[in-house]
Amino acid sequence: MYADDQTRQTQLAALRRQAGSADRRILLTGATVVTMDPATGVLDKGDVLIEGDVIAAVGPDLRAGGDHAGMVVLDASGCVITPGFVDTHRHAWEAQLRRIMPDVDDLAGYVTSTLLGIAPVYRPSDMYTGTRLAALTALDSGITTMLDFSHNSRTAEHSDAAVRALLDTGIRGVHAAMAPHFGDWDKQWPADLTRLRDTYRSDLLTFRLACLATDEIAGPALAYGPELARTARELGIGVSVDAVFGTASSRAVLDWERAGLLGPEVTLIHATGLTDGAWQAIGRTGTTIALAPTSDAQIGLESAIPAVDEALAVGVRPGLSIDVEVALASDMFTQMRALHAIQRMRAVNAVYGSDREPSRIGVHDVLDFATLQGARTNGLADVTGSLTPGKQADLLVIRAEDVNNMPLNDAVGTVVLGSDPRNIDTVFVAGQVRKWNGRLLDVDLAALREEVTASRDHILAAAA
């Protein structure tokens, strides 16, 4: 993907002419292909064929002996191709408030400032702006699937705005709807999920019910239990449970297991400071886990240690998430590196001074968490998360010969430890190009900047 600008423009024009066509064929050739499919692994020099919106084939030299008529061939030499990253939990509506409280000391500080003080003044237009900004940033940094834990659904109009923002960006969006913690709202949740599911039909959009683990923060109406579980099952959607912390959540997990409310369709977010008994229940039921590595460590949530070892010990491979941009980084590279470093530090520290070997995760593990396991956590393992024929063509082309990556020695290590959003040359979602030659497409950055700034200024003035 190091062709001259004129060639790149010609290629983009060809892709755009065929956009949406089920017969369109795109061949990415000559790359190092990190499939994250256990059966295929890493191809040191391979090709990826996209037909319509799906991955048709992955292998070496797919051009040999084929019919190339009408095919767009992209030379990806010097690049690494990977599945798109999957974010399992982000409060996207807050994006106008990025890094407004970078040194927040604890959960109470975040809750008091953002959820109690600022969230009630959000208009539907602010929901749209924040969610769109978060989704565009996700695409720019290689996240092709984002679960928006939208916990400011004050009215149906607020929810509509958040959903439209996902659709307008072209990201693979998961709208997980929850009522606000504090302030006035229309009491339309969770019943309004039926309307949302029936109104917004798109191959790129799914829905989940979002809720909290216990009633400690916002009362019993938002706490997961039989009634909310029944609603989700009647709708045929999954459940994402946030603020799963400590002894109270541990008791709740055991109660949920006894009531038959756990399983692969349920995701527990954070899962920090849980008891051994709670973890055993999670493992027995196959419940999924969404870790937020920088959130746990930086904000100091419960034990402040991302619960990767606890999850792996009971056979659960977690997904990763961004959480709150008011205090944290926006990209998946940061989450992978933070978790990789924290777990390895913890493993070595645990056996320091002894002759025992530390049990350390590696770069392949965290890339697995950020792709295939994230897709499984979001209920989309059959759709995305690996470069497997038949899955949707959600993939990244990462430049491996840029100054911060050259020379390419280990592809997975380069992606996890060397790369950042500037190295992402191309992003495809369902075979549609969303980032090209290092730039987001179909985004007027000047207009976006004006919109975001105006929204932020209104929010802060109203909250004051």
Among candidate residues 181, 233, 243, the one with its CA nearest the CA of residue 213: 243
User: Which residues does 446 contact at the CB level (< 8 Å), separation at least 6?
Assistant: none
CATH 3.40.50.1390 fits 85-377, yes or no: no
Cβ atoms of 146 and 135 closer than 8 Å: yes
Alpha-carbon dihedral sign for residues 329, 332, 337, 343? positive
> Any alpha helices (H) in 32-144, and if so which ranges?
107-110, 124-140
What pLDDT does 65 receive?
64
Query: Would you say the CATH fold of 85-377 matches that of 5-83+384-440?
Result: no
What pLDDT does 226 receive?
97
**CA separation, residue 11 to residues 6, 32, 249, 460 (Å):** 9, 21, 52, 44
305-320: b (≥16 Cβ within 10 Å) or e: bbbbebbbebebbbbb
10 Å Cβ neighbour count for 439? 10
- Which contacts (CB < 8 Å, 24+ apart) does range 57-61 have? 57/389, 58/33, 58/387, 58/388, 58/389, 61/29
Among candidate residues 85, 73, 68, the one with its CA nearest the CA of residue 48: 73
User: Can you tell me the distance from the alpha carbon of 253 to that of 250, in angstroms, rounded to the nearest whole number?
Assistant: 5
Mean pLDDT in each 10-residue stretch from start to end of the chain (464 residues)? Answer: 82 86 91 97 96 96 75 95 98 98 91 93 98 98 98 97 98 97 96 96 97 89 96 97 96 98 98 98 98 96 96 98 97 98 97 94 98 98 98 98 97 98 98 97 97 98 94
What residues are paired with 173 via a beta bridge? 146, 205
10 Å Cβ neighbour count for 61? 12
Q: What is the pTM of this model?
A: 0.97
What pLDDT does 216 receive?
84
Question: What is the DSSP track for 205-248?
Answer: EEEEEEEESSSTTT-GGGB-SHHHHHHHHHHT-EEEEEEEEHHH
Q: Phi/psi of residue 418, each to 5°?
A: -105, -30
What is residue 358's DSSP assignment? P
User: Which CATH superfamily, name and number, covers 5-83+384-440?
Assistant: Urease, subunit C, domain 1 (2.30.40.10)
Domain ranges in the chain are 5-83+384-440, 85-377
